[in-house]
Structure 1
């Protein structure tokens, strides 16, 4: 990615800052693998973390440690008070600067970044290109597991950063609101790819696939290309943008680009996304 963004850190800059006081690095990787029924199986990235990670990086297990254990749906956001305590226990707190990365796709890092924003913590950045770019540049790796000391963290809740199905339902056809799908164009059309229930999209929604926002090196595309992608679906600065995907993960990459890089101020993520919507026959969907 070319151009400066405070919430995006390059491999070069991170390498220079290694060992800085207050720096906390986290591997956020989860893997989604198609199961025999055509739906995804979630697998923690811990095993690959143990084989090699950025020096000093700790591991964040989204599904085990940072999701609502009482939810029947995967990756559901826990209550913000609980989330704040969980992050503090992992070493996120006042006086720390957090760098988040993942392997194969940046969406796992942006999910954690968006969650941090929802509790009012802004001193966090995404490693552009993640583990893939770091390794491609032959930068050092470690197999020594790391943890960070617990920190003090206060909740400054921003509940508006996540929305539920009622907010999405109410936004259908609403002037000044754009609902965006971060899944693939085939999934958006109901023409292929993994499904979460009924095939297709939320009625009235447009599509900017999260996978179209980064290149083969997993780094984000140039800012002009990113702006063109969202301009192409009418994501004007004065619109409220609601982003969804399969389970509230890929949507956070669209949300990250819109807010951190393109300056949008009214963006929300539908937390449970299609795993909830497509399994409720009362909620409107479209195909084609």
Structure 2
């Protein structure tokens, strides 16, 4: 069984829905920003999944089940034991290949990005499971094409998860603080230019991590087709900030390490594999007054 591509098309998935080794995970989560300043609201996509999903898919609850229930910050990585228990129960394990999709990026915003899907895919890869892909365009594209939808819950036999963790995909606030003055590390802020500049206050303090460069996660897909732009266009965005230099390490962050995983996945697609995600992101960073932030 050949390794799955990082990102697959709706056509690719439609041809393989009956593959007995395929595990299709709906990672839909909903996030809505206030009109100006203030933290966002987040809720589970379980109800949306129950109203309609791709046939065979099971619901993967990023908001509750697949995050640390004891953390003060939303979407903090759970313990390895908790993650393996939950993901195995969804059928993921040795001999399976996984496709993750979601139902959209941000409520009320015209942003095309499968960043909830890449969040779960990144968690799988962090725990060592490599045979995972994200559906380009997600559920919105699937619907646009008139492909089959069901309300019948999916189900898979429990998986046997044997992969070993890859700690190099994860960084802490201490790692990021050290990276600020390291010329061999590119730190990417994945939020909007307004957040980066300090014009919007979502996290309690304005601005971005010093030395970071801004590559907005919502700028990688065509709003008409919902597909990723061609490789040349994607490459240009990241080449401008030096992130495709094979001799550099890249750290991505955002608000809660969701959008950051979309940037990380696109970088991986472009051949940059030395990429880590700052899991605490600005939710954690801004709360610690000893950590620097700057505005533009």
Query: TM-score normalized by structure 1?
Result: 0.95
Give the 3-state SS of the residue equivalent to 2:164 in structure 1: coil
| Aligned-partner Cα distance in 1 for 2:51–2:57 | 13
1:171 pairs, out of 163, 171, 179, with: 179
For residues 188-230 of structure 1, give each alpha carbon's deviation from its aligned partner in whole angstroms, at most 9, with x where no partner exists.
Answer: 00113x6112011001100111101122143211111111000
What's the counterpart of residue 136 of structure 2? 128
2:212 pairs, out of 205, 221, 239, with: 205
Structure 2 stretches lacking a partner, 5+ long? 106-113
For residues 228-283 of structure 1, give each alpha carbon's deviation from its aligned partner in whole angstroms, at most 9, with x where no partner exists.
Answer: 00001111221110100000100000100111x11112110000100010111110
Moved over 6 A (4+): none
Give the 3-state SS of the residue equivalent to 2:72 in structure 1: coil
Give the 3-state SS of the residue equivalent to 1:243 in structure 2: strand
1:219 pairs, out of 202, 223, 227, with: 227
| Aligned-partner Cα distance in 2 for 1:197–1:122 | 36
Query: TM-score normalized by structure 2?
Result: 0.92
2:265 pairs, out of 242, 245, 256, with: 256
| Aligned-partner Cα distance in 2 for 1:98–1:44 | 21
Give the 3-state SS of the residue equivalent to 1:168 in structure 2: helix
2:285 pairs, out of 272, 277, 282, with: 277
**TM-aligned CA deviation for residue 35 of structure 1:** 4.8
What's the counterpart of residue 19 of structure 1? 18
Structure 2 CA distance for partners of 1:197 and 1:218, relative to 1, 3 Å: farther
Is 1:92 aligned to 2:92, yes or no? yes
RMSD of aligned residue pairs (Cα, Å):
1.4
CA contact (8 A) 1:84 1:155 kept: no
| Aligned-partner Cα distance in 1 for 2:226–2:288 | 34
- How many residues align structurally? 282
